[in-house]
Amino acid sequence: MEMPIGTFEVVAKDNKTKARRGRLYTRRGIIETPAFAPDATYAVLKHLSTHDLEKIGLQMILTNTYHVNIRPGLEVIKEHNGIHNFLKYDKPILTDSGGWQVFSLVYESKMGKVLDNGVKFRDHISGDEHFLTPQKAIDIQLTLDSDILMVLDYPVSPNANKKDNLYSISRTTAWAKISKDTFVKDERSRDKILYGIIQGANDKDLRKKSFEELEQIGFGGYGFGGVPLYDDVVEYTADLIPDSKLRYMMGSGTPDDIKKYVAMGYDLFDCVVPTRNARHGLLYTSEGEMRITNAKFKFDKKPVDEKCDCELCTTYSRSYLHHLFKIKEPLGRRLATIHNLRFYVKMMEEMRKLINH
C-alpha cells in the first residue's frame, strides 16, 4: 500500500537499545532510517559532483536556507525552478530554517538581534543587514522547493540562564505556529514535509515544555535544537517524541556520536564532520581514524581501508593520498571526501541491518 507523503513508519526495533529502523515517505522516494544527510551548505558538497553523490549511495542531502538565500540568492534558484534542478540532484533535500545561524551569528557572535517577530542579521560576508522572519524562512524554503523543511527556531547555549532559555522556547513556539500556518496556507507546500524543533537547552523540564507546546501545533517529526552537550538531556528529549514521529538529531556528528544517538532512538542525522575532516586529511576507516598526512603513510602501499569499496580505496594507496595532501592537490580532498561519505553510508546501512525485527 502506498503511504502518504510525510508518513514515518517504524519497521523494526532493537531488543537491547532504543534504536529503531524506519521509513520516511517523501515525494522523491523513501528514506530508510537511521539515515545521514551531509551538509551541502551552499548547494554543493565541496569537490563533489552529483554523479559522485550517486556513486557514494547517499539517500539525501541538506542545504542551508540562510546561506543559499545570500549566495547564489533566490532569483538564481527561481530561474532554475528550484534547488534540485539547480544542482541536478533528484533525491530528497532537507533545508534548515536559518535557526542555527540565529545561534552562531546572533546569540554567540552578536552579529544581529533577536526580536519577537524575527531576527536581524548582519551578513557575515558583506555586512549587509537581513531580517529573517518565520514567514520568510518558510517562503525561502518553498521557493527552494526542498522536500523537508524546518521551522525557524531560536537555539541558545546548553548552559543558558533560565531567562534566555524561556525566551528561546517562547520564540521557538510562536515562530513554529507562524511557520506551520504559513506552510499550510501556501499551495507550494503540497507533498512537502515540515518539522518542528525542540529547545530547552540543558533543562529537562523546559525541554518537556517546548515539546508539549510544539505537539499542540502538530508536526510529523521533531529535531533536537541546540548543542547536544549532555547525553541525559539528549536521551530524555528523544523519549518525549512519540514512536510514530521522526526524531532528528540536528548537526551531529562523529561516527561514535551517531551510534550513540541511534541507540537513544534518533532516526535522522546531518553534519559537516565527514566532509570537513576529509578536507583536512582525517579519514574514518573500519579500524578507526586515520590522519593521512602523518609521515608513516609516505611509503604505505595499502588502501586506506581494505573493507571499503569507494573510488579511493579500490584505486589508490595510502602513499598516493599522502602525497596528494602534501602537495595540496585538490584531488586528495575529493578522494578523501568520497571515502568519508561512503564510510558513513555503509555505517548507516550496517546499523539498519543490526536493528532487530
pLDDT tens profile 313-344 = 999 999 999 999 999 999 999 999 999 999 99
Rounded distance, CA 158 to CA 169, Å?
13
- Label residues 270-307 b or e (16+ Cβ within 10 Å = b): bbbbbbebbbebbbbbeeeebebeeeebeebeebbbee
Give residue 1's pLDDT band: very low, low, confident or very high (50, 70, 90).
Answer: low
Q: How far is CA 280 from CA 35, 283, 294, 316, in A?
A: 24, 9, 12, 18
Average pLDDT over residues 76-96: 98
Rounded distance, CA 187 to CA 240, Å?
31
Give residue 109's pLDDT band: very low, low, confident or very high (50, 70, 90).
Answer: confident
Inform me whether the pLDDT recorded for 311 exceeds 80: yes
Average pLDDT over residues 196-202: 98
Domain boundaries, the chain: 34-271, 282-337
Domain 34-271 CATH class label:
alpha beta
pTM for this entry: 0.97
The total number of residues written for the chain in this structure: 357
Q: Which residues are marked as active site? A: 96, 270
- Residue whose C-alpha cell is 512537502: 192
SS3 96: strand
Average pLDDT over residues 140-167: 96
Percent of the chain with pLDDT over 90: 90
Average pLDDT over residues 110-128: 86
Dihedral sign of CA atoms 223, 224, 225, 228 in order: negative
pLDDT at 137: 96
Rounded distance, CA 336 to CA 119, Å?
37
pLDDT at 287: 97
Closest to 195 measured CA to CA, from 94, 100, 125, 286: 94
